[in-house]
Amino acid sequence: MPWLNRWRQDALSPVAARAAFDSLPSVSLPEVLGDWLGEELPTGHPLDGLLAGYGWKGKRFMSADAVDPLVFHRGSGDVAVNPALIPLGVPLAWPRLARSAPARRAFKTLLPALATGRPKARLRAVAHRGQVSTAMIYDDLPIIDHFRKVDAGRLLGLMDIRHTEQPYFFLLSRASGGL
């Protein structure tokens, strides 16, 4: 898709990103089950580039009620992180601080303490922007990730965070062989 290649190279405006999201078809719950590699799509959001800098690998959808919403790469393997333990207000209020080398080092040091062996989100069909599609609802945070189908192996995600005007966008690509 030409618009997706352009988006990867140059940030889209929030308006253009929403238009791209709105143009895509909904995705059913069975279609999203499995492991997905994550990639950030820039729009000028305070979180742009943050997850990649911290080693975000993707998401794991095991069932409607068992989701690992944040899986990070770790030298000895991948680790599912409890999103409720990440101070989301810091990167939203002070994105430069959150992107700093000391912050990234602190995250890597704390990663074992942030890890969880329990699912921290669930999947449901949710109406958003005039269309019902599968969404991931975080257990302990006021966040819903809405998904639309780019093609059989990719999903466009729109993270809707309460009290923020602009959504955060990301791309998920199906992982062959797991995360």
CB 8 within 8 A of CB 45: no
Per residue in 142-155, pLDDT tens?
999 999 999 999 99
Closest CA to 124 of 153, 146, 151: 146
Beta bridge pairs of residue 91? none
Whether the pLDDT of residue 174 is over 70: the answer is yes
pLDDT bin (cut points 50, 70, 90) of residue 177 is: confident
Q: Token pair of 175, please?
A: 């992982």
Structural contact between residues 99 and 50, judged by C-beta atoms closer than 8 angstroms:
yes
Domain over 2-174 is classified CATH 3.30.930.10: no
Phi-psi region of 22 (alpha: psi -120 to 50; beta: other; left: phi over 0): alpha
With a cut of 70, say whether residue 85 has pLDDT above it: yes
Say how many CA atoms lie within 13 Å of 176 toward its Cβ.
Answer: 2
Strand-pair partners of 43: none
Helices 14-23 and 2-9: angle between axes, nearest 10 degrees: 150
- In angstroms, what CA-CA distances link 57 with 1, 62, 101, 170? 23, 16, 19, 12
Question: Rounded mean pLDDT of 17-28?
Answer: 96
Mean pLDDT across the chain, nearest whole number?
93
What is residue 178's predicted lDDT score, i.e. its pLDDT?
65
- pLDDT computed for residue 77 by the predictor: 83
Domain ranges of the chain: 2-174
Mean pLDDT of 164-174: 95
From first CA to last CA, the distance across the chain in angstroms is 25
pLDDT of residue 142: 95
Is 44 in contact with 13 (CB distance < 8 Å)?
Answer: yes
Per residue in 44-81, pLDDT (tens digit) is: 999 999 999 999 999 999 999 999 999 998 877 899 99
